[in-house]
A and B are shown apart, each in its own frame.
Chain A
């Protein structure tokens, strides 16, 4: 089973809302990732967690707040977003960090009004 699940599939929010994106994997992977993808562009790395600790933060604005409550779950809390934050948000996981293969979820399509 190489499945990463993400909820919700679609999300529309206003600039003053607070919402969360969720990601789950049951492959026993110890590294999890958040990516942002704009249309017709490659994914851009946002955050990496390894063994539930934040390992990489690619200078992401503080209106995005990641959380890794356990080894299977990864959340992305959203607050005071801007319309330019509208994108596809992808979660991925890998057995470990380093050279391990990353498996992606289906993404959450976020629209900020």
Chain B
């Protein structure tokens, strides 16, 4: 199908790791993105991964890409209350049009 899929909700305790999963559809997608949206705000680019990479690490964030299964994940280490937000994965099929998942709401409990 045409959809990028994400689970809708994840709840973790402060200090735990969070893993947000995404499946995408187009094996020819060149870049895959994670955006964070806090309430009332725009989309903040968190990180992205090029399709020929398996993993990318940036401080507390680790992105894993399984191209065979078209599966993307975002791991946040030592999750803080400030990480509470909606996380969108998106694929870029090279047309200028981003295809977004439905967004995963991350709730961090103290």
Chain A contacts to B: CB under 8 angstroms: 2, 4, 6, 31, 33, 40-43, 45, 48, 50, 55-56, 90, 92, 94, 97-107, 109
- If A99-B30, A99-B31, A101-B33 touch, whether A106 touches B97 (CB-CB below 8 Å) is no
A90 pairs with B96, CB closer than 8 A: no
Q: Write out the residue numbers on chain A whose beta carbons fall within 8 Å of the beta carbon of B88.
A: 42
Once A41-B102, A42-B101, A109-B40 are accepted as A-B contacts, the answer to whether A98 and B96 lie under 8 Å apart by CB is yes
A98 to B94, Cβ gap below 8 A? Answer: yes
- Report the nearest B residue to A33, measured CB to CB: B96
A104 to B44, Cβ gap below 8 A? yes
A100 and B31 CA atoms in complex are apart in Å by: 8
Which B residues, 47 to 97, have Cβ-Cβ distances below 8 Å to chain A? Answer: 48, 86, 88, 92, 94-97
Known contacts A40-B103, A101-B31, A101-B48; A45 and B40 CB within 8 A of each other: no
Q: Which residues of A contact B42 (CB under 8 A)?
A: 4, 6, 90, 104-107
Residue B45 contacts which of A33, A42, A104 (CB distance < 8 angstroms)?
Answer: A104
Residues in B whose Cβ lies below 8 Å from that of A90: 42-43
> Closest chain A residue to B30 by CB distance?
A99
Q: Are A56 and B102 in contact (CB under 8 A)?
A: no
Closest to B8 in A: A40
